[in-house]
Amino acid sequence: VEDIPREPIELFWPEATAFMHGFISGGKPVFVHCRAGVSRSASTVIAYLVSYQGYTLNGAFLAARSRRPVVTPNLGFMDKLCDFELEVRGGTEASVALEKYESWYCGSQVGPLPEVGRSISTISTKSDSASDMSPSSRKAAGKLTGAVQKVIMANRLDSLSNTTHKN
């Protein structure tokens, strides 16, 4: 698996996280590694925390960074982790706001811990405004919002990779 945003790392998470869980649930340690221990292995550990330890994506990301401060999944991997969280935990919005993550990832947000989670007020405002909707309509609206965010993120990734290749 290459450390590039469009790499299909999510295809490996079910098997990798099940493998990890088999050892961890038996009280045995697991060493997860990649070339730098920043994006690929970190994304897999975060996927494990979401799928087997009950973490939200934001909680898993912050927990991983608290143990290894260089943990920084690339933008594409974080996008895939958002999808993975929704698949595993359900819901209509991932606990990480990709716009906030991108801002932090690209260096415009500074601070000891990245603030990439969705704010409670944003989440409750969206659900309050959707209170007239049926559960299936709310879910569809959430999926549509997610799809729009993915298109925006894909365009940003393309422009970032074009900028990176020019330098």
Residues classed as catalytic: 34
To 5 degrees, how large is the angle CA 39–CA 89–CA 148?
70
Give the CA radius of gyration of the chain: 16
Answer whether 75's CB lies under 8 Å from 7's CB: no
Nearest to residue 101, comparing CAs of 89, 77, 125, 117? 117
Phi, psi of 110 (to 5 degrees): -120, 155
**Would you give the distance in Å from CA 108 to the centre of its chain?**
19
The two three-digit tokens of residue 17, written as one number: 């996280």
Q: Please report where in the chains the tokens 């007239």 appear, as a residue.
A: 132
Q: How far apart are CA 48 and CA 54, in angstroms?
A: 9
